[in-house]
Structure 1
Amino acid sequence: MAREDARNWHDFTKRIGLFSVVTLLTFQGAVSQQVKVEPEVMSYPSQEVNLRCAFPDAGGIQLTQVSWIYEPKEGERLNIAVYHPKFGASYPTSPLKGRVSFTADPPTLINPSIQISNVKMTDEGKYICEYATYPSGNEQGVTSLIMLAKPRNSASGVTVIASTVTAGAKPVVVARCESADGRPAAQITWVTAVNGNATSTSTAGADNTVTISSQYMLVPTAADNGKDISCLVSHRTQAKPESFLMNLAIEYPPQVTIVGYDNNWYVGRTNVALTCQATANPIPTTITWKTMTGQMPDTVQIKENVLTVLKLDEQANTTFVCEVKNRLGTGKDQVTVMVRGTRLPVKGPTTSGVIGGIIGVVLLLAIIGSVVVLVRKKRNQHNGDGPPKYKPPPPKKQQTTSSSSELNTIRDPVESKDRSVDHLYYAPQHAEPSTDLDAYSDEEYNRDGELYYAGAPSGWDEPRLNDVPPLYAPNQYKANDYHDNEEDHPPAAGASRGESFVSQAMFV
């Protein structure tokens, strides 16, 4: 409990302290606002500058005198101008005497502004307009005079000469940037991809100006040669920073590499070449080819940095050396050649790669085939195509006898799920021949009675024949008349008399 009370009391005291500070600042601001001045004024050398001051609302306050006080950044405060309504204006001895005056003639206590002519850089500082009042005492306002001087900016790159490029070498200056005789002091920054550090120095110039110099240092390497580095100078008198782009020039001895040996040089191979590649700054002056044995094979041909062996033999079993020189030193590289008796087999694609490719092709073809089958199946279902839903038995040969009861027996039509009649036929009874000859004819059977077109769709499967045919009129013939009138009703075309015939449809 005691701890909580202590914490609450601490928070309360903090709030009281903050409230006191805000109140004090507000009160001081209200008091300082009695004297109206500009907080900051900027000027260039040799110009005229006006420092305004006013006491617009005196109210019950009596103004007795006004004074201008100069406070330099270094030194004592000095009175530079005084005005008393009874005694007039006065200009005490100061560095500004003869160059400072009240803007109004005669001046007034309500508006005692002053003017400074031929402004100098040393005039920079604070200028205080102070009123002597009754009964509140002195009231004042402060104006800061800032002198500006546009600097002269420049930059220069430095060529670094390094006899050897090794880690741990001392850093050297590679670029410089300078902003001279500016006011206030300029700011210099560096933008580059190289790994280095910048150092800056400040020097006081004439007439209170400042010169800023910056140097960029790094450990020089061949990899840094040709890279860009930029110096940015920022100053108050410039709308945007001024940029200086430089290109680093780092000198180093040659770095040499021999390319072209593929480890498959064999006897009889022709026109194989080695190339000597070198980088250096400054540019290399000489390129020399030689062997470790000191004797160059007779079949070797040299042109500048390319060594060509016209035809390989045992003499090419040696170590070739390429030396490159420039002003800073020498760089070299070597390659040992082994001439084989026969050519190495050319590596083809691996077995696993071939097998993988074949499997991939097979899978692709299988996927394509599955898609095609599914599409066709769906299309056939949509169009009503496909194999017949019913396969009738093959017709039997005609028997000599039949009964009227068998002829009068009719099998009900088969209905599909959508209640449409799919097939309408007579079921053969005992030795009665098949009467459904619309789907089959004698030509559809071979001599052995086999069905040629067993898979062909029935005519009833056609959309235009899905309707139920009209019923025939009641039977007009008796069973005995069927045989009597057999000559009046010849068999259907295409069916022989001894094999089959079309019987008259009968309904009960």
Structure 2
Amino acid sequence: MNMSGLLSALILLIIQGSLAQHVRVEPEVVSYPGQTVTLRCQFQNPGATQLTQVSWIFEPTNGDRTNIAVFHPSFGANYPTISPVSGRVSFVTDPPSLENPSIKIREVKMTDEGRYICEYATYPSGNEQGVTSLIMLAKPKNLATKVTVPAGKTPVIVARCESSNGRPAATISWSTALNGNVTTPIETKNPDNTITVQSVYMLAPQPSDNGKDISCVVSHRTMTQPETFPMKLVVEYPPRVQIVGYDNNWYRGRTSAFLTCQADGNPSPTTVTWKTLSGLMPETVQVQENRLAVQKVDDTLNTTFICEVKNRLGYGRDQISVFVREQAPPSSNAGVIAGVIIACILAISLLAVLIYFLVFYNRRQQHGYRGTGKPTGAPYDSFTRLFGSAKSSKNGNGNNNTPIYRGEMGLNEKTANQGMHPGGVALLETTHTQTAEDILLSREMDEVERKKFDELEEEDERYDHFGGGGPILQLRPHNDDLDDDMESQRDGSVISRTAVYV
């Protein structure tokens, strides 16, 4: 088509549209069965156009046009009796008028759906009209059913879904994890102009599909949300049987051994039968429905046990061969080894924690000590008490009169000098390596040793003023040329550094 042809067609459509705009109607009216529907019509701005008559024409979806109402200013209103809405249609106003020829239809039916044409007869322009589409809605009745089927390899219908007597046609869908097929929905038009939609779900059912979920979902214009019908498939199959309980560790003398016959079927199994391949059930075996209880294992159990289960569709069976061992297999010591390893780890961890706290406490005790190992300004401290005076010398310039106690403090000591206190107390001068335990003990014994030292001082004073009796020790003159092993004392006597005095 050339450019001029397109332009002419466009102009014609514009003219037709402008003419059609003179008759004002509603393009679409929606109603439900049993209601009263109003179809409005009005001729706009007639101007010099003379209106002579108005008619309403019904055009069904499939059928011929039919006049249903006519109004003439001189002859009045007329309702043809052959119309499908005869007796239910009338003009809204009484008497009607050409300015407002709207009509109403009572108790509308589904068959009333179609096109309604309001047509004016005018002079001099001729007939002009407007078209209203009446859409009838009908809420459908929805239903879904499951179909009981036997297990098999051929696809069959396992579920149905139907939406009946709806207008317009409903939409049906399926929701499931099954690997089946959905057939094309079948639509059937009913005599009352409603539509029934049917859909089915097909599947080659297996025993494992029994009880699986499947849902039919129906959507329709009259429903605010889709309607869902959940179902569970019903697949029938003969019993599936399995014997459990044998651990391959039946040895002579074992007690409390069991075999259980597990069966699954639809419909549920009705009978359970135990047999042996030899035909005789051992005397030590008790049959308890689907369970075999062995009181004591012996050689008669070296056989094959068979379990048969039946239901309405058939039966299933399973068998297991038992081998009786001479004695129980040695128990695994893996648990003992694991327990020993865990105990060792815990012991090592505990020892590490103990050492850490001892070292930490030792460092706190030594806090503030200098390189000599003695705290500043401590005239009488635990270090001196434990290790003796640092002023003792080979030539006797110092002396070892500080009391040191060996057995009570548990020190690893080596005798360096020995002497006799004037009060007759044997003294030992010791040297050893300081430990955390020494420091802890020295703190606890501090007050006791001070009291003992004071008592020794008092004895010294009493000895110096003693006036009676003979000398306790035999004295010899002090000599600068004494042996290195000897050391002079305050009372003029000499004692050996290495000898032990009791």
Structure 1 range deviating more: 71-80 or 128-137: 128-137
Instruction: Compute the displacement of 1:277 (Å).
Output: 0.7
Instruction: Compute the displacement of 1:349 (Å).
Output: 3.5
Distance (whole Å) between structure 1 residues aligned to residue 336 and residue 11 of structure 2: 90
Instruction: Compute the displacement of 1:119 (Å).
Output: 2.2
Which residue matches 1:466? none
Instruction: Compute the displacement of 1:454 (Å).
Output: 7.9
Which residue matches 1:267? 252
Match of 1:109, SS state, is coil
* Change in CA separation of 1:77 and 1:372 when aligned onto 2, cut-off 3 Å: farther
Which residue matches 2:92? 103
Is 1:126 matched up with 2:115? yes
Match of 1:222 among 207, 210, 214: 207
Map residues 189-204 of structure 1 onto 2, 5 A cutoff.
189-199=173-183, 200-204=185-189
Match of 2:309, SS state, is strand
Amino acid at match of 1:182: G
Asked whether the 8 Å contact 1:444–1:453 carries over to 2, the reply is: no
Which residue matches 2:163? 179
Amino acid at match of 1:263: N
Deviations 1:446-502 (A, max 9, x none): 34466799899xxxxxxxxxxxxxxxxxxxxxxxxxxxxxxxxxxxxxxxx969xxx
Map residues 64-103 of structure 1 onto 2, 5 A cutoff.
65-85=53-73, 88-91=76-79, 94-103=83-92
Gaps of 5+ in 1: 1-12, 395-421, 426-435, 457-496, 500-508
Instruction: Compute the displacement of 1:291 (Å).
Output: 1.7
Asked whether the 8 Å contact 1:69–1:129 carries over to 2, the reply is: yes
Which residue matches 1:480? none
Match of 1:206, SS state, is coil
Instruction: Compute the displacement of 1:282 (Å).
Output: 1.9
Deviations 1:112-169 (A, max 9, x none): 2111234232110122334456787765443221223343433433322x3xx45xx1
* Change in CA separation of 1:385 and 1:91 when aligned onto 2, cut-off 3 Å: farther
Which residue matches 1:325? 310
Match of 1:339 among 324, 341, 345: 324
Is 1:314 matched up with 2:299? yes
Match of 1:40 among 28, 41, 54: 28
Match of 2:252, SS state, is coil
Deviations 1:70-99 (A, max 9, x none): 222123344433445566545455333443
Q: Name the TM-score, length of structure 1 as normaliser.
A: 0.63
Match of 2:146 among 136, 140, 157: 157
Distance (whole Å) between structure 2 residues aligned to residue 370 and residue 108 of structure 1: 116
* Change in CA separation of 1:389 and 1:67 when aligned onto 2, cut-off 3 Å: farther
Match of 2:324, SS state, is coil
Which residue matches 1:506? none
Instruction: Compute the displacement of 1:261 (Å).
Output: 0.4
Asked whether the 8 Å contact 2:91–2:101 carries over to 1, the reply is: yes
Match of 1:114 among 90, 93, 103: 103
Match of 1:207, SS state, is coil
Instruction: Compute the displacement of 1:221 (Å).
Output: 1.9
Instruction: Compute the displacement of 1:107 (Å).
Output: 2.5
Equivalent pairs counted in the alignment come to 396
Amino acid at match of 2:314: G
Distance (whole Å) between structure 1 residues aligned to residue 243 and residue 430 of structure 2: 85
Distance (whole Å) between structure 2 residues aligned to residue 91 and residue 261 of structure 1: 92
Asked whether the 8 Å contact 1:391–1:454 carries over to 2, the reply is: no
Distance (whole Å) between structure 2 residues aligned to residue 272 and residue 439 of structure 1: 77
Instruction: Compute the displacement of 1:297 (Å).
Output: 2.5
Instruction: Compute the displacement of 1:324 (Å).
Output: 0.9
Instruction: Compute the displacement of 1:367 (Å).
Output: 9.7
* Change in CA separation of 1:207 and 1:391 when aligned onto 2, cut-off 3 Å: closer
Is 1:289 matched up with 2:274? yes
Asked whether the 8 Å contact 1:253–1:331 carries over to 2, the reply is: yes
Which residue matches 1:250? 235
Distance (whole Å) between structure 1 residues aligned to residue 373 and residue 94 of structure 2: 138
Distance (whole Å) between structure 1 residues aligned to residue 331 and residue 240 of structure 2: 33
Distance (whole Å) between structure 1 residues aligned to residue 76 and residue 85 of structure 2: 19
Instruction: Compute the displacement of 1:54 (Å).
Output: 2.6
Match of 1:334, SS state, is strand
Asked whether the 8 Å contact 1:388–1:455 carries over to 2, the reply is: no
Instruction: Compute the displacement of 1:205 (Å).
Output: 2.0
Deviations 1:391-440 (A, max 9, x none): 3499xxxxxxxxxxxxxxxxxxxxxxxxxxx96x8xxxxxxxxxx84768
* Change in CA separation of 1:438 and 1:337 when aligned onto 2, cut-off 3 Å: closer
**Aligned residues with identical type, % of pairs:** 54
Match of 2:300, SS state, is helix
* Change in CA separation of 1:68 and 1:344 when aligned onto 2, cut-off 3 Å: same
> For the aligned residues, what is the CA RMSD?
4.7
Asked whether the 8 Å contact 2:118–2:129 carries over to 1, the reply is: yes
* Change in CA separation of 1:216 and 1:453 when aligned onto 2, cut-off 3 Å: closer
Instruction: Compute the displacement of 1:265 (Å).
Output: 1.1
Distance (whole Å) between structure 2 residues aligned to residue 214 and residue 183 of structure 1: 17
Q: Name the TM-score, length of structure 2 as normaliser.
A: 0.64
Structure 1 range deviating more: 233-242 or 46-55: 233-242
Is 1:51 matched up with 2:39? yes
Asked whether the 8 Å contact 2:373–2:383 carries over to 1, the reply is: no
Which residue matches 2:367? 387
Asked whether the 8 Å contact 1:181–1:206 carries over to 2, the reply is: no
Distance (whole Å) between structure 1 residues aligned to residue 230 and residue 130 of structure 2: 47
Distance (whole Å) between structure 1 residues aligned to residue 381 and residue 10 of structure 2: 111
Deviations 1:14-56 (A, max 9, x none): xxx9xxx999999988876654433332333344321112345
* Change in CA separation of 1:78 and 1:360 when aligned onto 2, cut-off 3 Å: farther
Match of 2:193 among 208, 225, 242: 208
* Change in CA separation of 1:117 and 1:193 when aligned onto 2, cut-off 3 Å: same
